[in-house]
Amino acid sequence: MKFIDDYRDPKLGQRLIDRIQHLSTTPVRFMEFCGGHTVAIFRHGIRQLLPRTIEMLSGPGCPVCVTANQDLDKAIALARQPGVIIASFGDMLRVPGSHSSLQQAKAEGGDVRVVYSTQDALAIARENPDKALVFIGIGFETTAPTIAASIIQAEAEGINNYYVLSFHKLCPPVMKAILDLGEVSLSGIICPGHVSAIIGSHPYDFIPQDYGIACAVAGFEPLDILLSIDMLINQIETEQYRVEIAYRRGVRPEGNHQALKLMDSVFETGDANWRGIGIVPASGLKLSQKYQRFDAESNFAIDPGPAREPAGCICGSILRGISTPADCRLFKNSCTPEDPVGPCMVSSEGACATYYHYGDTGGG
C-alpha cells in the first residue's frame, strides 16, 4: 500500500507544477470528464496551482447527475407499486424527480431501501420471496460489471424476484456526443480512472484521431491528476495527440477482460437518456434478450407521465460543460446540499455540491 504516499508526495507535486508552468504557453481548456476528478481537483486545491493559461471544466461524469428525470420518475412510480421493494444507492433517494423523489415515495409508504452493493440487494430479494425487488442500476462501466454479476448469480440461485431497472451509461459515446454538439471547444480531456480500469484506454482513441484533442486517463490522487495535465500540455505543445495513461497502477490499455466479458454476457448497448444532453444512441446498457426476465422495464407496467426539470436548475448545461455552478442563480441561495434543487447538488460527485463544499479557496 506504500505507493499511495508516493502519489501524494508534495515534492513530486511541486516538480510537476513547475513543469506544467514552464511548458504551458498557449491558453487551453480541459474537461475533467469524471465527477470524482472534480472532487479531487477541488479537494487538493489543484486549480489554484495551475498557470492562468489552463482552464478546467467539469464534465458529465456523475452517474446520479446524468440520470434523466424521465428515468428517475420510472423508479419513483415503481416504488409506489404494491409488492415492490426498490433497492438503490443512497444518493439517488434525495434527487428530486419531476414531481417527487424516491425519498418522498418512501416517506409515503413505499418500500425503498438504500443498499451499498448488489449483494445487499440480492439478500433482500432472498428474504422477501413474495415481493419483487427492483434494483435501480445507475452508473457507468464501473458499476455495470457488478450488476451483471448479480444477475448471473440470481439466475444460478434461482432468485426469481430480482429485477434491474437499467439506466447504465457508457462514457465514450457521450464524450463523442458532447464533442459533436460543438458547444464547448476543448483542447484536452482527462478521461475517467475507474471506468478506464474496466474499458481500457483504446475506446478513447477516436478523440485524438478524429477531433485532434489531447487525452489522458487519470487516477484520483493529486499527482495522478497533475501528471495527466502535464501529459495533455505536452501533447498540445508538441501537437502529438494521443491517449496517454497517467494511472498505470489502475489502468491497462486493453482494460479488464473479465469484467468486459461479464458485461457483454448480460447487457447489450441501447440508447440512453442523459440529463441535459438527451437521447444519445448506443450510450446505454440494456439487459440482453437472454436476461429479459430480470429486466424491470419489460416486466412491469410503468407510466410516470411527462417529465419536467426543476425550475431554474441549470444542471443540464453544467453537465454539457457550457455553464458552471456559479452561473446558476439558485446556487447557494435556494439550492444547498441540505435542500437540493437539482441532482448536481445532491450527489457527492456533483459539480454543484463540489463547488459548494470547497468554495472559494478550492476553486482558486
Partner 1 sequence: MADRVLLAHGSGGKLSHDLVAKSLVAVLGNTILDRLDDSAVLEASGRLAFTTDSYTVSPIFFPGGDIGKLSVCGTVNDLAMSGAAPLYLSLSLIIEEGLPLAELETIVASIHQAASEAGVQIVTGDTKVVNQGSADKLFINTSGIGIIPEGLDIAGANARPGDKVIISGTIGDHGIAIMSQREGIEFKVPIVSDCAPLNKLVAEIVSPNVHCLRDPTRGGLAATLNELAGQSRVGIRIDEVSLPVEEAVRAACELLGFDPLYIANEGKLVAMVAPDEAEGILTKMRQNKYGTGAAAIGEVVSDHPGRVIMKTRLGSSRIVDMPVGELLPRIC
Q: Which residues bind partner 1 (CB under 8 A)?
A: 1-2, 4-5, 8-10, 13-14, 17, 34-36, 39, 42-46, 48-49, 61-64, 89-91, 94, 116-117, 119, 138-140, 142-143, 192, 194-195, 220-222, 226, 337-338, 348-349, 356-362, 364
Residue 139 vs 200, nearer CB to partner 1: 139
Here's the x/- map for ligand SF4, 279-318, by CB under 6 A: it reads as ---------------------------------xxxx--x
- Which partner, partner 1, ligand SF4, none, binds residue 43 by CB below 5 to 8 Å per kind? partner 1
Q: Does 86 bind ligand SF4 (CB under 6 A)?
A: no
Assess contact for 153 and 177: CB atoms under 8 A. no
Pick 47 or 332: Cβ nearer ligand SF4: 332
Binding mask 323-362 for ligand SF4 (x = CB under 6 A): --x--x-xx---x-----xx-xx------x----------
Q: What are phi and psi of 232, to 5 degrees?
A: -60, -45
Comparing CA positions, the residue from 340, 32, 225 lying closest to residue 353 is 340
Q: Which is nearer to ligand SF4, 214 or 315 (CB)?
A: 315
What's the angle, vertex CA 334, arms to CA 275 and CA 351, rounded to 5? 40
Q: Give strand ranges (E) for the chain.
A: 28-34, 54-61, 84-88, 111-114, 132-137, 162-166, 188-191, 214-217, 243-245, 267-274, 278-287
Cβ at position 46, least distance to partner 1 in Å: 7
Closest to partner 1 by CB, 234 vs 348, is 348
346/327 Cα distance (integer angstroms): 18
Cβ-in-10-Å burial (0-12, 13-18, 19+) of 232 comes to buried
Nearest to 337 by CA among 91, 130, 72: 91
Gyration radius of the chain over CA positions: 21
Minimum distance between the CB of residue 26 and partner 1, rounded to whole angstroms? 24
Residue 364 has what DSSP assignment?
-
How many residues at the interface with ligand SF4, by CB under 6 A?
Answer: 15
Distance, in Å, from the CA atom of 144 to the CA atom of 20, rounded to the nearest integer, reads: 36
Closest distance of CB 198 from partner 1, Å: 12
